[in-house]
């Protein structure tokens, strides 16, 4: 038997073993790991471990200390609720032993990183006596957070921190922050809200077709009309004034070229009904909190209110609109081209 044929046979055997292993779940099954959390018991209180997503969990206490040990299928962020760890309620479960002392958790990469930042945040508070709500403090904290995200972009803490500060950022800034994280970190549960926000925004770009719209909206499109989907809420102080302008601007096109669908983001259906009493009876009214209106909210990116989307008869996004001035310009340009 030649050397080349022998190598070929070995490659075939290894390939077959790999296929059998993967079919059995071995190749793609999560890699479980053991973890351990230790800390002091505060006034006899043990941490609340309900809701921890782990395979095995054991809690032991003796001589004023607790030991939580278990096996996890993946790295995750969990809540450790107790007065003793009030500043360290978020623990990063990774392989190894985590020690909670004086409101700080150490022992693994992510927990060490968070402890280091908490120390710097303490110093930040001392250097800004005007308080954490001052503009100077917010800028300093943002700069500090971005530094740590850059340093920990390849572990759980970097993703967790990026998700937290991205809540107050524009979608463009949030996307930039997300891009700094490694692909593995982006896939973690800790980054899920940020990931969902970016994916939803990507689906809301001009030219994208929105499929599986609610039947009420699809019926309007089937009439070969453009549809303006307007997201609003009664608690928005400028909305009543804006609604009046919306009616005036759309009146020349409504009924023949354009249909209006308003999606209320009010938590109370009663508030929605009261606020929409003076609106045109020809407008389709939906709730973004319950019913079929929630399907539209899931498909489109709503960063702020009010926000409008103009859809073409084939269900494609023509424009995303934030102001009445933008809407006026978009409609005039669109329908002047159609004449």
pLDDT digits (tens, 9 = 90+) for 1-26: 576 767 777 767 776 766 655 544 44
Kindly give the parts of the chain with pLDDT less than 70. Answer: 1, 3, 5, 11, 15, 17-30, 42-46, 81-88, 268-281, 338-339
Asked, for residue 243, whether it belongs to a domain, the answer is: yes
Asked, for residue 8, whether it belongs to a domain, the answer is: no
pLDDT digits (tens, 9 = 90+) for 46-64: 677 777 777 777 878 777 7
- For residue 146, count other CB atoms closer than 10 A to its CB: 15
Q: For residue 92, what are the domain limits?
A: 33-103
Asked, for residue 14, whether it belongs to a domain, the answer is: no
Asked, for residue 49, whether it belongs to a domain, the answer is: yes
Asked, for residue 108, whether it belongs to a domain, the answer is: no
Q: Are residues 307 and 260 in the same domain?
A: yes
Last residue of a domain, one of 203, 234, 266: 203
| CATH label of the domain that carries residue 327 | 3.40.30.10
Q: Is the pTM of this model over 0.85?
A: no
Q: Are 182 and 154 in contact (CB under 8 A)?
A: yes
Q: Are residues 96 and 122 in the same domain?
A: no
Q: List the alpha helices (DSSP H) in the chain.
A: 3-23, 109-127, 135-151, 156-166, 171-180, 183-186, 192-203, 215-221, 239-250, 269-275, 293-299, 324-338
Residue 110 per-residue DSSP state: H
Q: Are residues 221 and 297 in the same domain?
A: yes
Last residue of a domain, one of 178, 203, 228: 203
Please tell me the total count of domains within the chain. Answer: 3
Last residue of a domain, one of 165, 182, 203: 203
Asked, for residue 28, whether it belongs to a domain, the answer is: no
Q: Are residues 229 and 295 in the same domain?
A: yes
Q: Are 211 and 315 in contact (CB under 8 A)?
A: yes
Residue located via tokens 């700094």: 180
What distances in angstroms separate CA 102 from CA 185, 188, 291, one per listed residue?
A: 28, 28, 48
Q: Are residues 169 and 268 in the same domain?
A: no
Asked, for residue 315, whether it belongs to a domain, the answer is: yes
Asked, for residue 24, whether it belongs to a domain, the answer is: no
């Amino acid at each position: 038997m030649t050397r080349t044929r022998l190598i070929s046979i070995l490659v075939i055997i290894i390939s077959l073993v790999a296929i059998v292993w993967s079919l059995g779940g071995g190749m793609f099954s999560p890699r479980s790991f053991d973890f351990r959390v230790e800390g002091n018991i505060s006034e006899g209180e043990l941490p609340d471990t309900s809701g921890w997503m782990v395979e095995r969990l054991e809690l032991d206490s003796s001589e004023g200390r607790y030991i939580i040990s278990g096996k996890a299928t993946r790295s995750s962020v969990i809540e450790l609720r107790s007065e003793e760890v009030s500043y360290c309620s978020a623990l990063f479960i990774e392989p190894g032993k985590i020690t909670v002392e004086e409101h700080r958790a150490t022992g693994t990469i992510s927990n060490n990183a968070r402890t280091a930042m908490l120390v710097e945040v303490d110093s930040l508070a001392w250097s800004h006596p005007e308080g954490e709500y001052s503009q100077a403090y917010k800028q300093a904290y943002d700069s500090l957070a971005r530094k740590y995200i850059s340093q920990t972009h390849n572990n759980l803490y970097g993703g967790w921190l990026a998700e937290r500060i991205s809540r107050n950022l524009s979608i463009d800034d949030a996307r930039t922050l997300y891009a700094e994280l490694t692909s593995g970190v982006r896939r973690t549960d800790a980054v899920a809200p940020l990931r969902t926000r970016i994916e939803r925004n990507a689906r809301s770009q001009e030219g994208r077709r929105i499929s599986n719209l609610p039947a009420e909206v699809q019926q309007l499109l089937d009439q070969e009309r453009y549809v303006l989907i307007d997201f609003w809420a009664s608690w928005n102080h400028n909305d009543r004034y804006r609604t009046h302008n919306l009616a005036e601007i759309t009146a020349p096109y409504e009924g023949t070229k354009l249909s209006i669908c308003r999606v209320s983001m009010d938590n109370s259906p009663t508030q929605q009904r009261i606020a929409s009493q003076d609106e045109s009876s020809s407008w389709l009214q939906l709730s973004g909190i319950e019913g079929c209106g929630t399907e539209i909210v899931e498909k489109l990116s709503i960063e702020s209110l009010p926000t409008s989307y103009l859809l073409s008869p084939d269900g494609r996004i023509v424009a995303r609109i934030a102001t009445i001035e933008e809407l006026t310009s978009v409609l005039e340009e669109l329908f002047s081209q159609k004449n």
